[in-house]
Structures are given as structure tokens and as C-alpha cells.
């Protein structure tokens, strides 16, 4: 957890209420190369603190983390981000109406945006029709909790 806390500070990510059980970690040869978390609120679940080592970016690790957190999370997942262009292709959409916890976070963090503003985005998992041709995929071995 100390390495995650250090990287959260370096990457200017959400440092509120850090709990080890909320995080997943991607390791390569025993070295942490990325992490992310699902942060529960009373009225929402937020995907956040997605961080990848600078030298390991542009390799799909961030997408791998987001995909795994979506898989593990509830039907609706929220993010607050100043990088909406990164999350749009992953299925997140900007939302005007947000749960109270997300609105409060937007207010708390509005002055810390790297790209000028922080937005709330929402991801809704597709409905399971039972007729999918896709099979369930087991989580990769390189994820840890």
C-alpha cells in the first residue's frame, strides 16, 4: 500500500479514504506497474485511482485495470475525472445528473483538475440477456488484491 499511496500523490489522484481492499494491482515480474480501485459510497460506486507507471504507459495496462474493475463492480459505475477523452472509448459517458456523493466529490476536487475541469462520467453494464455468445473470462493471473 505505501507504493500505491506514493504513486497516488505523484499522479495527483484521489487520496480520500484509501482502503487496501478497494484496490487491484497489476504486477510484472513481481513489480507493481499499475493499480486502480472501486470506491463505495452509500449511493454509488466510483472507479478511481487508475495509475500506471510512466514507463509502462501506452501498453494497455490502464485499459486492463479499468476493464477488470468494471467486471468486478456493480451495474452502474461512476468516475470523476479530468481526462474524459481517455474514458469515453472505454464506455463511460458524461452525466449531468449524478448521485449526491459524486456531486460532492466534484465540488471538493474542482480546483485540482489537471485539464481545467473535472467531470462525472457513468458506465452502465449491458443487460445480460442470457443469449450472449461470449463466455466468462477468468481474471488474469497478474491481478492481485
Residue spans per domain, the chain: 2-125
This prediction's pTM: 0.82
Mark residue 143 as left, alpha or beta (left: phi above 0; alpha: psi -120 to 50; beta: remaining).
Answer: beta
pLDDT tens sequence across 10-20: 888 888 889 99
Contact 90, 62 (CB under 8 A): no
Contact 120, 80 (CB under 8 A): yes
pLDDT tens sequence across 49-107: 999 999 999 999 999 999 999 999 999 999 999 889 999 999 999 998 999 999 999 98
Arch. (CATH architecture) of 2-125 = 3-Layer(aba) Sandwich (3.40)
Amino acid at each position: 500500500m505505501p507504493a500505491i499511496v506514493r504513486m497516488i500523490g505523484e499522479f495527483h489522484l484521489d487520496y480520500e479514504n484509501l482502503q487496501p481492499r478497494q484496490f487491484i494491482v497489476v504486477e510484472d515480474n513481481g513489480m507493481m506497474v499499475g493499480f486502480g480501485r472501486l470506491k463505495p459510497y452509500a449511493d454509488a460506486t466510483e472507479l478511481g485511482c487508475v495509475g500506471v507507471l510512466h514507463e509502462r504507459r501506452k501498453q494497455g495496462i490502464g485499459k486492463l485495470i479499468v476493464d477488470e474493475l468494471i467486471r468486478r463492480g456493480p451495474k452502474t459505475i461512476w468516475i470523476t475525472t479530468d481526462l474524459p477523452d481517455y474514458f469515453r472509448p472505454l464506455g463511460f459517458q458524461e452525466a449531468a445528473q449524478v448521485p449526491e456523493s459524486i456531486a460532492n466529490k466534484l465540488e471538493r476536487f474542482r480546483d485540482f483538475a489537471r485539464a481545467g475541469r473535472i467531470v462525472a462520467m457513468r458506465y452502465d453494464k449491458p443487460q445480460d440477456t442470457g443469449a450472449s455468445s461470449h463466455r466468462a473470462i477468468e481474471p488474469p493471473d497478474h491481478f492481485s488484491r
